[in-house]
């Protein structure tokens, strides 16, 4: 855990990109005749904190933290700000929350957003102050998130998760490359040598992609019961089956040497592969967060 604001948990991958505290004092100014004004200290002003976050879908769901912060602002309740190190920053209310969408996908879903949050200190009743939240000390709190089944083989698990996540992102790029090649092939469909050359590249990349996906079940045996592992392996396994079907269709059309509806059908199946890979995103994010937590602990 990187920090908590009330019940909102921030992990390493959605930690603050900027953090600014403002402490100020309040003075009353009294004008005098034939002289400069006199100042009288009246006390300290409320502490304000401003922090920024950059949320990207490859690291963490860009909507989860944002929606949680909106709900907390609407509730207008005092929230305790506590960092993973155990430091208690105080009680605050969310005074302002702003968000800038940086990237959207083809369906209008947010893929990356930048958030700015302004907090204002909440003092409350000095005769009945809010309690200090209980803080775990004496051990790294990240250890609590390690499943028992993998504590004895953390290094091997980390290596397996790193490999799995790396393969996932490589497959993502491969799918995009395949789609681009098919689009290019359509532009030269009346040139047999041209489209067959491009479809040949499609088959080559598709085969490499399938090989990558087929290695994930063996790698995934090291994941144990890590959060996100089951979804990751289920959806990537589904993608492998769908991609095999797609390859078979393309190979049949390629072997025929004739342009036909086989490519339309292949593209439809390829779209299901893309959907399955997209559905594995949440699992990938959870595994990536676990990796980041391990690095933070070290």
Q: Which of 138, 170, 155, 162 is nearest to 239 (CA)?
A: 170
The one-character DSSP state at 29 is E
* Beta-carbon count within 10 A of 121 CB: 21
Compute the average pLDDT of residues 283-298.
70
pLDDT at 133: 66
Compute the average pLDDT of residues 232-237.
94
pLDDT at 293: 66
Higher-pLDDT residue of 151, 170: 170
Q: 27-56: per-residue pLDDT in tens?
A: 999 998 888 999 999 889 999 999 998 887
d(CA 60, CA 216): 21
d(CA 156, CA 72): 39
pLDDT at 221: 87
CB-based contacts of 289: which residues, under 8 Å, 6+ apart?
A: 11, 12, 13, 59, 60
Burial class (CB in 10 A: 0-12, 13-18, 19+), 175: buried
> Residue 238 — pLDDT band, cuts 50, 70, 90?
very high
Task: Tell me: pLDDT of 260 over 80.
Answer: yes
Class of domain 148-297: mainly alpha
Task: Tell me: pLDDT of 145 over 60.
Answer: no
pLDDT at 34: 82
Is residue 24 within 8 Å of 100, Cβ to Cβ? no
d(CA 135, CA 132): 9
Structure tokens at 256: 């025929």
Sheet harboring 3-5: ordered strands across? 8-10, 3-5, 79-83, 88-104, 110-121, 48-56, 16-22
> Residue 168 — pLDDT band, cuts 50, 70, 90?
very high
pLDDT at 151: 46
The model's pTM: 0.51
Alpha helices (H) in the chain, listed in sequence order: 64-75, 154-187, 192-220, 229-256, 262-279, 281-297
Task: Tell me: pLDDT of 157 over 90.
Answer: no
d(CA 112, CA 103): 5
pLDDT at 147: 47
d(CA 69, CA 23): 23
Higher-pLDDT residue of 85, 288: 288
pLDDT at 2: 76
pLDDT at 267: 92
Give the chain's end-to-end CA distance (angstroms, integer).
14
d(CA 215, CA 167): 9
Class of domain 3-125: mainly beta
Q: Where are the domains of the chain?
A: 3-125, 148-297
Q: 200-218: per-residue pLDDT in tens?
A: 999 999 999 999 999 999 9
> Residue 14 — pLDDT band, cuts 50, 70, 90?
low
**For residue 186, how many C-alpha atoms fall within 13 Å in the half-sphere facing its CB?**
12
**Average predicted confidence (pLDDT) for the chain:** 84
């Amino acid at each position: 855990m990187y920090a908590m604001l009330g019940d909102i948990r921030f992990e390493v991958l959605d930690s603050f990109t900027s953090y600014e505290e403002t402490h100020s004092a309040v003075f009353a100014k009294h004008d005098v005749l034939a002289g400069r004004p006199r100042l009288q200290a009246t006390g300290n002003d409320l502490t304000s904190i401003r922090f920024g976050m950059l949320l990207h879908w490859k690291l963490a769901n860009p909507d989860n933290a944002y929606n949680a912060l909106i709900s907390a602002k609407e509730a207008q309740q005092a929230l305790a700000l506590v960092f993973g190190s155990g430091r208690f920053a105080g009680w605050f209310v969310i005074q302002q929350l702003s968000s800038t969408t940086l990237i959207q996908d083809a369906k209008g879903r947010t893929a990356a957003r930048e958030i700015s949050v302004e907090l204002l200190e909440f003092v409350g009743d000095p005769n009945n102050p809010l309690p200090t939240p209980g803080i775990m000390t004496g051990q790294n709190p990240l250890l609590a998130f390690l499943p028992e089944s993998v504590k004895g083989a953390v290094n091997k698990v980390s290596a397996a998760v790193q490999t799995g996540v790396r393969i996932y992102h490589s497959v993502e790029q491969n799918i995009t490359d395949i789609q681009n090649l098919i689009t290019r092939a359509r532009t030269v469909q009346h040139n047999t040598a041209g489209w067959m050359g491009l479809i040949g590249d499609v088959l080559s990349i598709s085969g490499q992609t399938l090989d990558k996906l087929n290695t994930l079940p063996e790698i995934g045996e090291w994941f144990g019961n890590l959060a996100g592992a089951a979804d990751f392996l289920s959806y990537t396994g589904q993608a492998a089956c769908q991609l095999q079907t797609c390859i078979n269709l393309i190979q049949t059309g390629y072997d025929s040497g004739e342009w036909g509806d086989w490519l339309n059908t292949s593209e439809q199946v390829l779209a299901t592969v893309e959907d399955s890979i997209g559905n594995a995103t949440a699992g990938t994010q959870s595994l990536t967060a676990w990796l980041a937590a391990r690095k933070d602990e070290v």
